[in-house]
Amino acid sequence: MNKIFLFFTPFLLSCAAYALAPIWAWEKDLSLEKEQVYKANFSVGAVQKELEFRWTLYKNYGLILHIRYDKFNHQVLLYTDYQRNAYKISLGRGNSSQKDDPHLIMYFKEFADKDKKAHLKLYIEGQGAAVLDESISPSKDKKEDEEAEEDTTQGQAS
């Protein structure tokens, strides 16, 4: 009896470890500057939904995110330490407690003081959701540079 138990114990432990590991349907690394907007369109079943978020403040090691998903606004404060670094949004309309329902999970990885960028990681866990398209708005510095170039070219043309 002990031999059978010793033989099946590693097998059962490996099965349990595999069952606990999340299976990501999609993942994305992001680096966003302040007020830079990330937009993504999801297909959840036969329905299209839009996600939009940006960060507005980084203070005392906390990042404030403004998220809009399915016409519902969220304001979240994330830190880089464990248990305060993630936010989970249910993508489907069903019971969000079921493991098979798709969820978007946002992790705050770090904030780079040098270039003032927040580094985030996005995952979709579960089945039934797909990313159709995504975009990131240009940063304020790039917008100001483009406007300055347009002003100088218009001044030279006149």
For residue range 72-104, list pLDDT tens digits in order: 999 999 999 989 999 999 998 655 555 678 999
Per-residue pLDDT reduced to its tens digit, 6-55: 677 777 666 665 666 677 889 999 999 999 999 999 999 889 999 999 99
pLDDT of residue 152: 55
Cα 115 from Cα 31, distance rounded (Å): 10
Whole-model pTM? 0.76
Q: Is the dihedral of CA 67, 121, 90, 86 positive or negative?
A: negative
Contact 102, 129 (CB under 8 A): yes
The more confidently predicted of residues 46 and 68 is 68
pLDDT of residue 56: 97
The pLDDT value recorded for residue 150 is 61
Would you state the pLDDT for residue 143? 62
